[in-house]
Amino acid sequence: MKQGRLRVLLGAAPGVGKTYAMLEEGRRLRSEGRDVVVAVVETHGRAATRAMTLGFEIVPRLRVAHRGVELEEMDLDAVLARAPQVALVDELAHTNAPGLAHEKRWRDVETLLDAGIDVISTVNIQHIESLNDVVQQITGVPQRETVPDAVLRDADQIEVVDLAPQALRDRLSAGVVYPAARIDAALSNYFRLGNLTALRELALLWLADEVDSSLQRYRSEHGIGQKWEARERVVVALTGGPEGETLLRRGSRIAARSAGGQLLAVHVTNQDGLRSIDPAALSAQRALVESLGGTFHQVVGSDIPEALVQFARASNATQLVIGVSRRSRLAALVTGAGIGATVIRESGDIDVHIVTHAAAGGRLRMRLPEIGGSLTTRRRVLGTAIALAFGPLLTWLLTTFRSDDSITSDVLAYQLLVVVVALVGGIWPALFAAVLSGVTLDFFFVDPLYTVTVDEPLHLLALLLYIVIAVLVSIVVDQAARRSRAARRSAAESELIAGVAGEVLRGQDALQAFVTRTREAFGLTGVRIVVGERVLASDGEPAVSSASAGSSDSPDSSGSPLDGPVDRVPVGERAVLELHGRPLQSSDRRLLGIIVTQLASALENADLEQTAREMAPLAAADRVRTALLAAVGHDLRRPLASATAALTGLRSTTGILTPADREELFDTAETSLGQLTRLLTDLLDVSRVQAGALAVTLADVDLLDVVPAALEELDVGPSAVELDLPAELPAMRADPVLLERVLVNLLANALKHAPSSGPVVVAASAFLSGVQIRVIDRGPGVPIDRREDIFVPFQRLGDTDNTTGLGLGLALSKGFVEGMGGTLEYEETPGGGSTFVVALQAAAVL
């Protein structure tokens, strides 16, 4: 039976129109004569979606009783019996009621596909199994219903039903997605603008990755090796040399010329890992790649041109950027065609850019390997011992079984001895074994016997061949030993740098991590970083050398005695890295240079952080001081002047005051002094909040007890404030006095800025493990560029009248809420206005 085809409509969030689009597609297929039925559609009470189902044949749902509740599920058997050409199955991630054939609806869909029925289904990005935890981190809402990625990737067609985040919020505000009772909570939580933007990007990126994987899979299945220019992919080959930065910037410009161009940098490492590179330069180039928006890759291969071209083809590259060879013309002439010529020959339809650079055509680097030096003394002694021990033993064996025809085997046996000695001890034991073997052969096996006479040129040639063989084998052994040592050292250097990076990422102090690792790597007794007389970081025994202390017996500043020579290396312009214990070899200097470069960066970062920390309190204090002076000069002067004028009038003896006049002056003085008291109280409260000295007494508080008290203090009528407080709302952990002051401040702010735009709404709802209180007005709202300032003290968003206060209400409210362990945030009211959301912990979870 022909397998059915699956088409999935993917959405970033509920309400983007997946079900509506599915029904639209069903109508289009019906108009083309296809047999389409609705297997299951969830309208969620949306009128537009319900209207789209009209005219469709709808398979009746199966009713299942579970724990006293009757659930409606898709009737799989009925759909199979109906056997339509196309079935519309909504919500692919849905979990079926217990007792049905399958636990998940996507299993039902697989059964329909196996029966040859085409299926159109829907799913949200939060239900994809691999993205479930990412979505929870973004939205804070766990999703229990998921679909395996493999199910979606096996679909014949995946489409994103896209809707701009603000357009979705507008649909939600208009009541298209959820009923009115759920709109405010949804807008304030899951459907925040930032959440929707992140979910939309996640959906588009997941689909883009799926499209790219499908393209690669198709090319692989059909054996397509040539490039497909779906978009420009520029591969830059890095050697670890100084030309890398030039190549990367050229590659970035090439990728930028085409919309959506991709930059990939690749470094090919020899399989033996012994090719000499500059780790510091390669690390800097890797950082540059990432800053240019590209990706860095490292591959291993013995044939660098072949590995480079294979990587470019596997990445579907359209451009390949390589540098001009750093070898001189003489070196290229001696060693033959370089990497560039081979890459051009093998690249096929991939365009190759050969970029010149400052390091091109360097000096000739051809020299013979050093003789000796790479093998240990122990190995050289062992090689000599083998020559002395096995030479006589071999001679005894060969003379015992000597015959007229054995001269060839005798020569080969001594040659084998020379090779073995060369492999073990290197060139000097091998030369000794070669000369000894030649003399022994001439003495015991060449006529005239028992004499050392070189009267035949062939005998002399044989001795020279022994020496040449010994030299060649020993050179190979020397190179192998040298490269083995280089490999071990490179691995140790990489481990050192990786270890320091890991410790820094885990939160350890960067300077201390570098100091500790440096002492361990070089086997020193102590390492420290010094700026002037101040030690920034140290590890081990930080001794002071005789050069700096004047004598070998003088202690350092910490009382430590001298412990070997001290090597001082400048780090930046001010600091010095002191190394104690032993002088470093020249081979250690390269790694030390890398460490010093990283230390200089770490010191610079530390200095910048310290400067920022020192300046932040000063800047904050200066802002508060300036605002306080302006506020005191403006807002405190009016009530003080009014009270003074009233009292002066009462004491005046020049005129006759009526009882009504005197009562009015008393009222003016009382009102002004009351305003002055409240302003000073707010100033003291702000200072306590900023100093962290706010006294908070937490208790289980019922919001229904706090709101009436706040309304009574504000003395507002029922027409000014509308309450939406559920009776089943859980209690909160809060300070009742502070919470009342928070509500008073928020309500006063809302009533002041929206006096004629309808009532202010106070709504509350339970969310996760807390309770959220919303104070909603329909006023002018807050401009986007000023929203970061609304909780800053002395900010009044342009108010200049003398009745607005010091601008401390919102700052105090935020400080009070955070002191109670909660949060206070601003949101734009859908349709215009301001919404302040107070989130506190519910008492039930404690």
Tell me if 179 is assigned to some domain. yes
Amino acid at 530: V
Which of 14-23, 238-247, 293-302, 331-340 ranks highest by mean pLDDT? Answer: 14-23
Mean pLDDT of 479-500: 67
Does residue 537 surpass a pLDDT of 90? no
- Considering the domain boundaries, does residue 139 fall inside one? yes
| 338 and 385 in a common domain | no
The lowest-confidence range among 313-322, 485-494, 564-573, 763-772 is 485-494
Going through 462-516 in order, the beta strands assigned E by DSSP cover none
- Any idea what the CATH number is for the domain that residue 797 is in? 3.30.565.10
Least confident of 5-14, 29-38, 665-674, 696-705: 665-674
pLDDT above 90 covers a percentage of the chain that reads 9
Over the chain, what is the mean pLDDT?
Answer: 75
The number of folded domains in the chain is: 4
Question: In the listed set 480, 500, 516, which residue is the last one of a domain according to the structure?
Answer: 480
Residue 639 token pair? 């009530």
Which of the listed ranges 44-53, 257-266, 406-415 does the model predict with the highest average pLDDT? 44-53
Interatomic CA distance for residues 794 and 802, integer angstroms: 13
Query: Quick check: is 349 in a domain?
Result: yes
Question: Beta strands of 12-94 (E only): which ranges?
Answer: 36-40, 57-58, 62-66, 69-73, 86-89
Task: Flag whether 785 is in a domain.
Answer: yes
- Please state, as a whole number, how many other Cβ atoms lie within 10 Å of the Cβ of residue 706: 20
CA atoms of 785 and 789, how far apart (whole Å) = 9
Q: Is the pLDDT of residue 276 over 60?
A: no
Say which residue, 510 or 814, is predicted with more confidence: 814
- Are both 210 and 152 inside the same structural domain? yes
CATH number at residue 38: 3.40.50.300
Is residue 408 assigned to a domain?
Answer: yes
Q: What is the mean pLDDT of residues 201-224?
A: 63
**Range(s) of the domain holding residue 836:** 694-845
- Per-residue pLDDT for 121 more than 90? yes
Both 288 and 387 in a single domain?
no
Question: Which stretch of 216-220, 546-550, 687-691, 766-770 has the lowest confidence by average pLDDT?
Answer: 546-550
Tokens representing 193 are 């603008």
Please check whether residues 244 and 213 belong to one and the same domain: no
Q: Is the domain of 308 the same as that of 418?
A: no
Residues 31 and 83 in one domain: yes
Residue 628 belongs to some domain of the structure: no
CATH number, domain containing residue 296? 3.40.50.620
Phi, psi (degrees; rounded to nearest 5) at 527: -140, 140
118: confidence class by pLDDT, cuts 50, 70, 90: very high
pLDDT at 111 over 90: yes
Strand partners of residue 761: 722, 776
pLDDT of residue 401: 82
Statement to judge: residues 713 and 825 lie in one domain: yes
User: By mean pLDDT, which of 103-117, 140-154, 295-309, 351-365 is the weakest?
Assistant: 351-365
State whether 411 and 467 are in the same domain: yes
Highest mean pLDDT among 194-208, 687-701, 821-835: 821-835
pLDDT in tens, 285-305: 888 888 888 888 877 766 788
pLDDT band, residue 85 (cuts 50/70/90): very high
Same-domain check for residues 101 and 149: yes
Query: Are 199 and 52 contained in the same domain?
Result: yes
Q: What is the dihedral of CA 401, 407, 412, 414, to 10 degrees?
A: 70
For residue 483, report the phi and psi dihedrals to the nearest 5 degrees. Answer: -70, -35
| 495 inside domain | no
How far, in Å, CA of 477 to CA of 473, rounded? 6
Query: Three-state SS for 175?
Result: coil
User: Could you tell me how far CA 687 lies from the centroid of its own chain?
Assistant: 38
- Does the residue 657 lie in any domain? no
pLDDT digit string, tens, across residues 599-617: 787 778 777 877 877 777 6
CB count in 10 Å sphere of residue 340: 17
Alpha helices in 315-456 (DSSP H): 329-335, 339-346, 377-400, 407-425, 427-444
With bands split at pLDDT 50, 70 and 90, how would you rate the model's confidence at 493?
low
Note the pTM of the prediction, 2 decimals: 0.38
Domain boundary among 179, 198, 221: 221
Query: 221, 242, 273: which is the final residue of a domain?
Result: 221
Q: Which of 133-147, 224-238, 348-362 has the lowest mean pLDDT?
A: 224-238
Grouping H, G, I as helix, E, B as strand and the rest as coil, residue 119 is: strand
Q: In terms of domains, do 210 and 265 share one?
A: no
Alpha-carbon distance 402 to 534, whole Å? Answer: 80
Encode 538-606 in three state secondary structure.
Answer: EEECCCCCHHHHCCCCCCCCCCCCCCCCEEEEEECCCEEEEEECCCCCHHHHHHHHHHHHHHHHHHHHH
DSSP label of 40: E
| Residue 257 and residue 184 share a domain | no
pLDDT score of 6 more than 90: yes
